[in-house]
Structure 1
């Protein structure tokens, strides 16, 4: 009987130690493991080879300090991008955190991002919430970003048109704008991935989205049920046209983002910056 009690106590202690280890890792280590995910997209359209860098969901504030911005910027610049795209949710909760946020330091950091063709951003739901709607566009513009709100820009020298859509949950996009008339290669930026099934286009398209954080804490059978509205079942990673379930020639990458919201943990969803090599298909 004494042996059983000792074994039970030992098992409980081991389980407690393992749990503390997981909590410590998800709180102290994984949120600081900024990584770069790289992939190549080819198209039959006539484009110039270029590099697109995409980052999203920084959620600077209580759970993710602005001090991380320097590493983010240095990493992006090290990838030598032609285009830099930001997918929204710059700040986590402006109303809660504004007294502690050093926005001038953040402005200085984001202004250092370099991109040959340009830097573009869209609105996320947190960029509207908490009073951030009053500062977001002006702030991003002051950092050298063009905020695309249901707008696009054509880059003839690249053969690429960059689209940016308003936030789905808090903003509003006229449904007809999801029908794209452009015959260039369309590089589409949206905070939520749910618009993937609404896009109609006769050209080739790549959609970049965030919002889901990959679940932020990834647990089998649980995370998929807890994804936020606007995800429409897309969690993270690369999705083909068939996986999206669309008749449009559309591929999509959903990033797990960088920062944190609701709780200060990341588990099996390391912060990421995404590098996309756009290349013409070999004839």
Structure 2
């Protein structure tokens, strides 16, 4: 009987330990840093498929979406600070509830337009300086196995080329943007006026990004409310070009702990 009692106590202690560990992990994820894998190429070459990062959830404060499944009992946003133009942000899609990562280009009250692939903010052209090419192998990428878009058709295993430029945002950062080819994707848009308490996002891989240039009614992102922002992406922690993390021969060591 004593042996049975000890065994029951041991099982009970194990369950408690697991529960406590899950609670601590949940609190850490909710309040501080949330892990995020890059599943698509919309932010190339700032972020590559297979990059792993932690999202800084303290950067903008907390809303109901800070908790898994959006269950935080918070109305609006608390302890919030305003994001800055050029931040790379993870946010909850206003309609489908999925997590997206894009670059913030439009602040509340801004007008945003794309003309011939060039971004205009409040009527001012955002300078783009040509910076060579971005070259990658035309092959399945990441666990999803999607193929990259290229400027010209190439065979499997060939070089997939895109034009690269450095864009300087007004009052924000300079960063690389990619262009697959002129007239491909939303290279020309209407003028959008960003509502109060909302933001306008775009992917750095401009011709391969579903973002705020596309209205929500058509499956796009549209304007993103402040409360939907989950946090800021500051640094890539780990990166793998393969379909599985354990494929060590596909690890990109040069991207470990790389600042975004």
* TM-score past 0.5 threshold: no
Bigger helix fraction: 1
Normalised by the length of structure 1, the TM-score is 0.29
Normalised by the length of structure 2, the TM-score is 0.31
Bigger strand fraction: 2
